[in-house]
Structure 1
Amino acid sequence: MASTAIPESGAIFRGYNFANMWEQNAPLMEEQKTAISSLSRAIAERPYPPNLVGVELLAQEQCLVKDGSAMISQNDVVEEAGIDVVLVNTHQFYKWFTDLESAMKSETEEKYRLYVNTLVERIQLCDGILEQVDDTLNLFNELQLLQQSVAIKTKTLHDACDRLLLEKQRLIDFAEALRIKLNYFDELENVSSKFYSPNISLGNGQFLPLLKRIDDCISYFENNPQYAESGVHLVKFRQLQSRALGMIRTHVLSVLKTVSAQVQAAVRGSGSNKASIAEGVEASVIYVRFKAAASELKPILEEMESRSSRKEYAYAIHECHKMYCEQRLSLVKGIVQQRISEFALKESLPSLTRSGCAYLMQVCQLEHQLFDHFFPSSSTDVSSMTPLIDPLCTYLYDTLRPKLIYQANLDSLCELVDILKVEVLGDQLSRCGESLAGLRPTLQRILEDIHERLTFCARTHIRDEIANYRPSDGDLNYPARLEQLTEKASDNSGENNSDIFRTWYPPLEKTVSYLSKLYHCLEPAVFTGLAQEAVEFCSISIQNASKVISKKSSPMDGQLFLIKNLLILREQIAPFDIEFSVTHKELDFSHLLEHLRRILRGQASVFDWSRSTSLALTLSPRILESQIDAKKELEKSLKTTCEEFIMSVTKLIVDPMLSFVTKVTAVKAALASGAPDKRQDPVLAKPLRSQAFASPEKMTELIQKVSNALQQELPKVMAKMKLYLQNPSTRMILLKPIKTNIIEAHVQLQTLIKTEYLPDEVHGIGMLSSPDLQSQIDNLL
């Protein structure tokens, strides 16, 4: 094992021999040997490093020179290393060591030289292979160029084929388009031959497709007028279309006349069917036969309605509507007229209006349903049935209008407005929708006539019963009339007081009544004018009556009468949401006379059209506008009357005080003016208490007179106010300034007395203080 483990290299072998010789020449000590033995035993079990394993090194060298190169065998190395060398000195050692290094270097270079030779051979071999590869690549490049050339030629051929195919398809499309366009030109002969064929009729299945083809050709030629002979073909196709539409109209009229004749024959054969439409029998012969005719004409009419956007078809449909309405009118007009005549003979005007409108709505609804069977697309258009609905409505209008002209009762006219405006137009027509829309113009016309008649009658009533009212003695018998009504009301205190309106002046009652009736019946603008006139005339009538009552009874009665009725009038017109203001325009010719005088004097020329004095300007009237607000005038009159009443009551009680204060004020003013004649007057120079009219006795008499008037007259005034004015708040509004005036008069006199009289005289006069006077007045009120 030891011998095989020693490396087989020559240099190592020589080193080993040198070590042995070194061991002999330089022996180790025992301690060193022991240490080496211990070290040897310690490493004995460890393998050699890979680079020292001789077998592995030899295998690697054999692999490197496996191509046949000469290798140095182990024996040669041994023999080369088997040189016995004896080293005597250092110089020999160094020389030996140098030789050993050279031998080792030579041995190492030999190994690499073998590697180099091997690599050179391999490179030469690769160069030969590369030359072959280059030749192959050159051949491949030539082949690739040939393939590209073939590909280019193939693509060029494909592109040429594609262009030829596209050109072929374009030519095919062009030929097809040309053929389609030429078909419209060629279609004239085909359509004409079929259209003038004796076998053509609306009943067979060829007519509608033929009509559609004619329409398509007409549309084509209308959209393409640039083609040769397009205008000629358009005219010819339109002639064919006109002939086709004429055939349709003739066919529709023939069917309608046939079914109308059948219905008339059936009605004549059965007398009970004459009133079927009036009774609303929807399945009667008048409707059943026409519904059967609708099923026959429906395909043609639907086809025409689908093309109603074209004016030719729209006109043809209109003609069909007209023919249908004429045939229907010939059947139902007699029955409708007869039924409305029966209503007119049996019923009053409001009942006639209500019954006639209800009957016409029933007829129109049935006719609309039947019309929808014939013309489903046109039934939503109200004007389509106008030739049928208008004559039927005219029968009712012609029946109502003569009765309206002679109707003068406002209640009846207001009832008619309510029937038409609320029941018929507002409720029934809105609920039924478009089926009764054809009635609306006639009903609106009737309503306008009623408004016109109602306005005329209202103006007449306002003029006759308010403005020109002539009161009787009983109407002006105040306050006796109020006293009688008060006694009657007290006797019937357990019953409802129904005589409240009897205390009103008749024009006032009529004004309020008329305005209440007309408010919801007339247009706001018309009602505003009537309300302004009525309030104005009523206010004037009340004022005139107040003047008469003031003469017959007393001024206080006249004032309270005026206040009472004006307050009622103001209260009753407050709920009306209108302006009682009307603007009146008048033509003023007052300047005409002066201009004519100037022209006659030669100061102006008749033919001077440019100056302000020309004849044209002279003869042109001026427009004067005046605005009258009846409500404001009413407020103004009421305010003036209340002020007059307050002053009259104040003077009735404290007139002596007011006269005395006025006289004293005049005397003091005369003294203060400084006139010499007045200052020298012995009467005026005296103190006030020394004056005869202002002596303490006279003052005591004046105070007693005012106190008596306060105790006697104020209760009477209160009694009259309660008689005329039932509202306590209204009475308090009038009494408050009266009370204030009485107290102010007492305060003025009391201030004067305290200033001009001695304390004993003031006490002797016995004038009440302001709190006592106020308490006394409150007790009297």
Structure 2
Amino acid sequence: MATTTLPKSGAVSKGYNFASTWEQNAPLTDQQKAAILALSHAVAERPFPPNLVISEGDLGEERRVIGFDRRFYFRKGREIDAVLVNTHQFYKWFTELESAMKSETEEKYRFYVNTLMERIQICDGILQQVDDTLNLFSELQSLHQSVATKTKTLHDACDRLLMEKQRLIEFADALRSKLNYFDELENVRYVESNPQYAESAVYLVKFRQLQSRALGMIRSHVVSVLKGASSQVQAAIRSSGSSKTAVPEGVEASVIYVRFKAAASELKPVLGEIESRSSRKEYAQILSECHKLYCEQDYTCIVQQRISEFAKKEALPSLTRSGCAYLMEVCQFEHQLFDYFFPSSSSDVTNMAPLIDPLCTYLYDTLRPKLIHEANLDSLCELVDIVKVEVLGEQLSRRGESVAGLHPTLQRILADIHERLTFCAPDAHPRRGNICTCTFVIVILR
């Protein structure tokens, strides 16, 4: 038997040693070997059971997958195509079979290893995301701590400022109590009431001069601010349209009252101080001059345009109703604005008379020519009802003192209507259609 090289596999090496020892201890004769060869040929020709028979196509496919020669194919009960005549062929066949089995087994484990590696990579990604999230939480916590620290610092600073404010208020009160002596020392009234003091007359003259200069500066400042506001109003009116075009209704409040309220914010502290001292003659005089300066600001052109527009479009009763309603609205706005400038003086209606009377006069001058030419008793009676019942009886009493300045003008208009009724009544002859009207005229005239 030819000498062969021992396989390197451990299991095959042990089997090879055992087979070699067994062959040396029990050698076969040539006759025995021939019998074994005959038996092997007989066994090789034995057909497979039907459930184990495979086609040549499947067999060829498995030959390509396994990758070793057909003579040594042996897997899952398949036949051995070649006869193993010696131990060398047996060991070679066994080694290739073992390699094929290992390759098949390793393929399953390799797939499992690949799956595990993918899972490990996924877990590593999740761990990385968790680490990133923890880092973000740490950063958020540090930011929260920083905000909390800054908030505490701000609260401490606010507490210190409040304490400092309280100390300053106490210091100002203490200082004010000390300055009262200086107020008494420089008070004009105090010098007037104590003429026995040395050089009191000289100090009084100097005090009067300084007071006159201060009041003159106040008057100049009031004039400047009011003229500036009036100039802005006139410019806005000119920009809103030509002199032949009536100013839109919404422009009046925004142009006049808003502009003058802005000026009042600048003058209000000074005027408030003057009103608080109005019990003294010099301050009462400067307050009266401020009232006059305020009422001299001429923007009656807006009222004239509005009433002229009513006169062009409406009949006499409708004109009377619209004109009175418009003037009441203007008077309310003017009263609010005057109260904003002079809170203590707005309750006296006479203070606003220089401002309200020109506005009312224009309505009276517009209505009087139409009343003189009105000869219809029904229209005159309707005018009496409008002025006496609607305006004087209802609207003036409901709106209160803000429209009290209209009362004299409305009484003049009502007197003119009565005069016109007196003039037209003798010419009226009772007829079936106007008996009630004549009766109403008689009641009015009585």
Query: Match for 2:238 among 252, 268, 273?
Result: 268
Residue 517 in 1 paired to residue 432 in 2?
Answer: no
Query: What is residue 50 of structure 1 aligned with on the other side?
Result: none
State the alpha-carbon separation in 2 of the partners of residues 183 and 219 from structure 1. Answer: 9
Query: Match for 2:290 among 320, 331, 338?
Result: 320
Could you report, residue by residue, the CA deviation over 1:35-55 in whole angstroms, capped at 9, with x for unpaired residues? xxxxxxxxxxxxxxxxxxxxx
Query: What is residue 372 of structure 1 aligned with on the other side?
Result: 339
CA 1:318–1:356: 2 relative to 1, 3 Å: same
State the alpha-carbon separation in 1 of the partners of residues 404 and 309 from structure 2. Answer: 25
Residue 308 in 1 paired to residue 278 in 2?
Answer: yes
Paired letter, 1:360: L
Residue 230 in 1 paired to residue 200 in 2?
Answer: yes
Query: What is residue 262 of structure 2 aligned with on the other side?
Result: 292
Could you report, residue by residue, the CA deviation over 1:534-556 in whole angstroms, capped at 9, with x for unpaired residues? xxxxxxxxxxxxxxxxxxxxxxx
Note the C-alpha offset of 1:275: 7.9
Query: What is residue 427 of structure 2 aligned with on the other side?
Result: 461
Paired letter, 2:309: E
Matches within 5 A, 1:543-692: none
Could you report, residue by residue, the CA deviation over 1:6-59 in whole angstroms, capped at 9, with x for unpaired residues? xxxxxxxxxxxxxxxxxxxxxxxxxxxxxxxxxxxxxxxxxxxxxxxxxxxxxx
Q: Secondary structure at the match of 2:389?
A: helix
Paired letter, 1:402: P
Residue 421 in 1 paired to residue 388 in 2?
Answer: yes
Could you report, residue by residue, the CA deviation over 1:156-214 in whole angstroms, capped at 9, with x for unpaired residues? xxxxxxxxxxxxxxxxxxxxxxxx69973xx4xxxxxxxxxxxxxxxxxxxxxxxxxxx
Contact 2:331 2:356 in 1 (8 A): yes
State the alpha-carbon separation in 2 of the partners of residues 344 and 182 from structure 1. Answer: 60
Note the C-alpha offset of 1:253: 0.6
Residue 451 in 1 paired to residue 418 in 2?
Answer: yes
Note the C-alpha offset of 1:290: 1.5
State the alpha-carbon separation in 1 of the partners of residues 419 and 276 from structure 2. Answer: 45
Query: What is residue 364 of structure 2 aligned with on the other side?
Result: 397
Paired letter, 2:315: S
Paired letter, 1:285: V
State the alpha-carbon separation in 1 of the partners of residues 401 and 325 from structure 2. Answer: 16
Query: What is residue 246 of structure 1 aligned with on the other side?
Result: 216
CA 1:298–1:274: 2 relative to 1, 3 Å: farther
For the aligned residue pairs, the C-alpha RMSD in angstroms reads 3.0
Could you report, residue by residue, the CA deviation over 1:292-326 in whole angstroms, capped at 9, with x for unpaired residues? 11111110011111111122212211111111122
Query: What is residue 218 of structure 1 aligned with on the other side?
Result: 188
Could you report, residue by residue, the CA deviation over 1:628-687 in whole angstroms, capped at 9, with x for unpaired residues? xxxxxxxxxxxxxxxxxxxxxxxxxxxxxxxxxxxxxxxxxxxxxxxxxxxxxxxxxxxx
Paired letter, 1:245: L
Matches within 5 A, 1:332-351: 333-351=300-318
Note the C-alpha offset of 1:287: 2.2
State the alpha-carbon separation in 1 of the partners of residues 396 and 245 from structure 2. Answer: 24
State the alpha-carbon separation in 2 of the partners of residues 428 and 277 from structure 1. Answer: 25
CA 1:455–1:258: 2 relative to 1, 3 Å: same
Contact 2:246 2:306 in 1 (8 A): no
CA 1:235–1:359: 2 relative to 1, 3 Å: same
Contact 2:321 2:386 in 1 (8 A): yes
CA 1:454–1:379: 2 relative to 1, 3 Å: same
Paired letter, 2:441: K
Q: Structure 1 stretches of 5 or more lacking a match? A: 1-179, 188-216, 467-500, 528-781
Contact 2:310 2:322 in 1 (8 A): yes
Paired letter, 2:225: V
Paired letter, 1:358: A
Note the C-alpha offset of 1:424: 0.7
State the alpha-carbon separation in 2 of the partners of residues 344 and 324 from structure 1. Answer: 29
CA 1:222–1:349: 2 relative to 1, 3 Å: same
State the alpha-carbon separation in 2 of the partners of residues 518 and 225 from structure 1. Answer: 71
Paired letter, 2:257: Y
Contact 1:420 1:443 in 2 (8 A): yes
Contact 2:388 2:414 in 1 (8 A): yes
Identify the structure with bigger relative contact order (alpha carbons < 8 Å, sequence gap 6+).
2
State the alpha-carbon separation in 2 of the partners of residues 344 and 270 from structure 1. Answer: 22
Contact 1:278 1:359 in 2 (8 A): no
CA 1:183–1:436: 2 relative to 1, 3 Å: closer
State the alpha-carbon separation in 1 of the partners of residues 322 and 206 from structure 2. Answer: 56
Query: What is residue 400 of structure 2 aligned with on the other side?
Result: 433
Paired letter, 1:442: T
Paired letter, 2:207: F
CA 1:339–1:290: 2 relative to 1, 3 Å: same
CA 1:353–1:409: 2 relative to 1, 3 Å: same
Matches within 5 A, 1:196-207: none
Paired letter, 1:453: R
Q: Secondary structure at the match of 2:225?
A: helix
Contact 1:394 1:442 in 2 (8 A): yes
Could you report, residue by residue, the CA deviation over 1:510-539 in whole angstroms, capped at 9, with x for unpaired residues? 5x75233331x34xxxx1xxxxxxxxxxxx
Contact 1:280 1:362 in 2 (8 A): no
CA 1:432–1:518: 2 relative to 1, 3 Å: same
State the alpha-carbon separation in 1 of the partners of residues 194 and 320 from structure 2. Answer: 60
Residue 388 in 1 paired to residue 355 in 2?
Answer: yes
Matches within 5 A, 1:63-102: none
Paired letter, 1:409: N
TM-score, length-scaled by structure 1? 0.32
CA 1:243–1:442: 2 relative to 1, 3 Å: same
Note the C-alpha offset of 1:352: 0.9
CA 1:396–1:406: 2 relative to 1, 3 Å: same
Q: Secondary structure at the match of 1:408?
A: coil
Contact 1:343 1:352 in 2 (8 A): yes
Contact 1:325 1:385 in 2 (8 A): yes
TM-score, length-scaled by structure 2? 0.54
State the alpha-carbon separation in 2 of the partners of residues 277 and 243 from structure 1. Answer: 41
Could you report, residue by residue, the CA deviation over 1:87-112 in whole angstroms, capped at 9, with x for unpaired residues? xxxxxxxxxxxxxxxxxxxxxxxxxx
Q: Rg bigger for which structure?
A: 1
CA 1:414–1:363: 2 relative to 1, 3 Å: same
Could you report, residue by residue, the CA deviation over 1:706-749 in whole angstroms, capped at 9, with x for unpaired residues? xxxxxxxxxxxxxxxxxxxxxxxxxxxxxxxxxxxxxxxxxxxx
Note the C-alpha offset of 1:457: 2.3
Note the C-alpha offset of 1:263: 2.6
Note the C-alpha offset of 1:380: 1.5
Contact 1:304 1:317 in 2 (8 A): yes
Note the C-alpha offset of 1:447: 1.2
Paired letter, 1:238: R
Aligned pairs, how many?
267
State the alpha-carbon separation in 1 of the partners of residues 399 and 246 from structure 2. Answer: 22
Matches within 5 A, 1:718-733: none
CA 1:275–1:231: 2 relative to 1, 3 Å: farther
CA 1:182–1:371: 2 relative to 1, 3 Å: closer
State the alpha-carbon separation in 2 of the partners of residues 439 and 340 from structure 1. Answer: 15
Paired letter, 1:461: D
Percentage of identical aligned residues: 73
